[in-house]
């Protein structure tokens, strides 16, 4: 339910509107959005049709910050930007993060961030002085390889008169309970939170404060998720055929499922099972990296322990093309079994009630609890038929199902104006609505149900 409008915000690098969905639900009124990608902008515009004549949706942030978009020397003045950007309380953005300059310690923020889109954000902050800055980026921004970049972001905001959450706040939706907008997807992102200094008396801002707020209630155990709860019935999916996997992919899974269900081993290996390495003596080379040598040795031992079964398995022919497993593409001769929690023993073991990814590194199978992060490439998760009522075939997640993992309402992709390929790309790049809502509710002091307890390790906070 949307709250009464209590604050205004702008949405930079808006994508398909993850920030907008979250902030709107907390009582925010969006005054300006900017998104470069045409397909994303189409989805955004259809999602947030507004009667407010003041609302503006722009394509390029540099329409605001430069008089000539491609000319770095044509930066607009704060006065000019102030006219172009509406007044707002919160500046939001999932900004792209290009490498920053390694200028000397005395360099100003313009020199240190020149040529990057973060400079454009700083120009708007300098011109409009919003009360709050709320930015999102990939987990790696807070990693050891990007220490200088993180320091530049924090110091640049501090130079503008903002108290900033200096220790990275890293968060993932699979630790949020469903009633607070959590979702079964591992999606670690870092959040940059800043409060204008004159608001500091009312709004203390540090990691300890965020941590305390997040400890108030309960910890959601991610093993309690069930992907089945997020899946559409096959009978409700238009054009169902396009979400079914290829006949070759069906063949690969049929073969590996035979091994999973029938091999006389109480447990399956945690290392990748390599069918091409089923030999009693591993074929090792002096120049071979340690990890490859280790996997070859372990597969040779696995083969020796189950030689009779595996010899028969390698001779079997599968699918319409009568392929043996060694006829499969190299990456499909690899099974990465990561479903021990679902099937700790041989009893009932199968691929049909698991989540599967066809990856360059192999066929990865996981329990149907929470999924790896959606990514902006063709690597859509596949769900087994036993996870859906009256289903018999494996199929990919639909865009609507993927959008549920991001907290995006069904209507956005139920009648999508873009192709499925674009939809998957958009969702892979999107922010998770539940996480944005949870962090924003603390930053802005808005009651958001009851925040749960997380440990420092789960939050990856350094308190």
Supply the residues annotated as catalytic: 97
Q: Which residues pair with 190 in a beta bridge?
A: 137, 170
User: CA nearest 331: which of 355, 295, 363, 292?
Assistant: 363
> Helices (DSSP H) in 75-231: which residue ranges?
78-84, 109-113, 117-128, 147-159, 207-214
Angle between helices 307-315 and 247-262 (to 10 degrees): 160
Beta carbons within 8 Å of 204's beta carbon, 6+ residues apart: none
Say how far apart CA 408 and CA 429 lie, in whole Å. 13
CA pair distance 368, 230, nearest whole angstrom: 11
Distance CA 406, CA 397 (A): 13
The Cα 117–Cα 283 span in angstroms is 50
- Label residue 131 left, alpha or beta by phi (over 0 means left) and psi (-120 to 50 means alpha): alpha
User: Which residues are CB-neighbours of 150 under 8 A, at least 6 positions away?
Assistant: 141, 142, 168
3-state SS assignment for residue 147: helix
Q: Are 57 and 35 in contact (CB under 8 A)?
A: yes
């Amino acid at each position: 339910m949307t709250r009464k409008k209590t604050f205004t915000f702008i949405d930079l690098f808006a994508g398909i509107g993850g920030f907008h969905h979250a902030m709107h639900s907390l009582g925010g009124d969006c005054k300006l959005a900017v998104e470069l990608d045409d397909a994303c902008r189409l989805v955004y515009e259809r999602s947030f049709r507004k009667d407010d004549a003041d609302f503006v949706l722009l394509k390029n942030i540099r329409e605001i910050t430069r008089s000539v978009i491609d000319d770095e020397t044509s930066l607009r003045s704060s006065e000019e930007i102030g006219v172009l950007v509406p007044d707002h309380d919160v500046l939001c953005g999932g900004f792209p993060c290009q490498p920053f300059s390694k200028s000397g310690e005395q360099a100003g923020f313009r020199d240190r961030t020149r040529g990057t889109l973060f400079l454009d954000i700083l120009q708007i902050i300098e011109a409009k002085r919003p009360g709050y800055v709320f930015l999102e980026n990939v987990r790696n921004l807070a990693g050891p390889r990007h220490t200088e970049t993180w320091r530049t972001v924090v110091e640049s905001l501090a130079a503008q008169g903002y108290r900033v959450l200096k220790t990275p706040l890293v968060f993932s939706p699979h630790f949020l309970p469903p009633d607070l907008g959590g979702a079964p997807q591992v999606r670690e992102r870092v959040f940059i939170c800043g409060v204008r200094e004159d608001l500091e008396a009312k709004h203390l801002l540090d990691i300890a404060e965020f941590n305390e707020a997040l400890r108030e209630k309960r910890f959601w155990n991610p093993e309690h998720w069930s992907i089945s709860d997020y899946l559409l019935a096959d009978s409700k999916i238009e054009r169902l055929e396009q979400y079914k996997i290829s006949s070759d992919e069906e063949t690969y899974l049929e073969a590996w499922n035979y091994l999973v269900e029938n091999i006389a081993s109480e447990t399956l290996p945690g290392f990748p099972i390599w069918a091409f390495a089923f030999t009693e003596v591993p074929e090792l080379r002096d120049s071979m990296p340690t990890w490859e040598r280790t996997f070859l040795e372990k597969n040779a031992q696995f083969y020796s322990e189950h030689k009779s079964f595996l010899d028969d398995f390698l001779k079997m022919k599968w699918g319409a093309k009568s392929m043996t497993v060694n006829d499969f593409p190299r990456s499909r001769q690899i099974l990465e079994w990561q479903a021990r929690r679902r099937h700790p023993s041989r009893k009932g073991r199968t691929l049909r009630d698991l989540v599967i990814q066809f990856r360059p590194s192999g066929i990865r199978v996981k329990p149907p609890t929470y999924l790896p992060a959606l990514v902006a490439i063709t690597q859509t998760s596949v769900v087994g038929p036993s996870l859906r009522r009256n289903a018999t075939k494996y199929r990919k997640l639909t865009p609507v199902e993927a959008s549920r993992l991001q907290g995006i309402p069904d209507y956005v992709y139920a009648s999508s104006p873009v192709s499925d390929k674009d939809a998957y790309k958009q969702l892979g790049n999107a922010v998770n609505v539940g996480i944005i809502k949870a962090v924003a509710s603390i930053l802005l002091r808005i009651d958001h149900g009851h925040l749960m307890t997380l440990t420092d390790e789960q939050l990856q906070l350094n308190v």
